[in-house]
Amino acid sequence: MIGTDVREIIAEEKQVQRHKEALDSLVHMRSKLLRESLDDRMRRAQDQGLSQKECAEFHKEEKRYLESQVDRLRREQARTKGKLTELRRAKAGAIRIRASQVASRRKRH
């Protein structure tokens, strides 16, 4: 039974690790967009046919939205990091329990 628990913990740990990596990637991409200057944004917007005023307004709105997204993603990163730490501790504990069970069986036989 403990072996199954360890396998389940390892599977969940891998899933949480993939989630963490996806969050890291999203935060990186959103942060990169936040650092984009208005001039760079205007160059990108030329393809969309926006005026400079429209582009400046859109850039402000986009920055506010990106800031809120990055904040939310960072909170999720912190939560995920905590969950990953918990899982690693649980895995270490389950492995120790399993090892002690195996050792006690050896002593009895």
The answer to whether 73 and 27 are in contact (CB under 8 A) is: yes
CA 36, 54, 51: angle at the middle one, nearest 5?
Answer: 100
Q: pLDDT band at 4, cuts 50/70/90? A: low
Token pair of 92, please? 């270490």
Return d(Cα 93, Cα 9) in angstroms, integer. Answer: 11
Q: How many residues does the chain have?
A: 109
Return d(Cα 17, Cα 93) in angstroms, integer. Answer: 19
pLDDT at 20: 94
Three-class SS of residue 36? coil
pLDDT at 64: 94
* Whether residue 76 has pLDDT greater than 90: yes
pLDDT tens, residue by residue, 29-54: 999 988 988 888 888 777 778 788 88
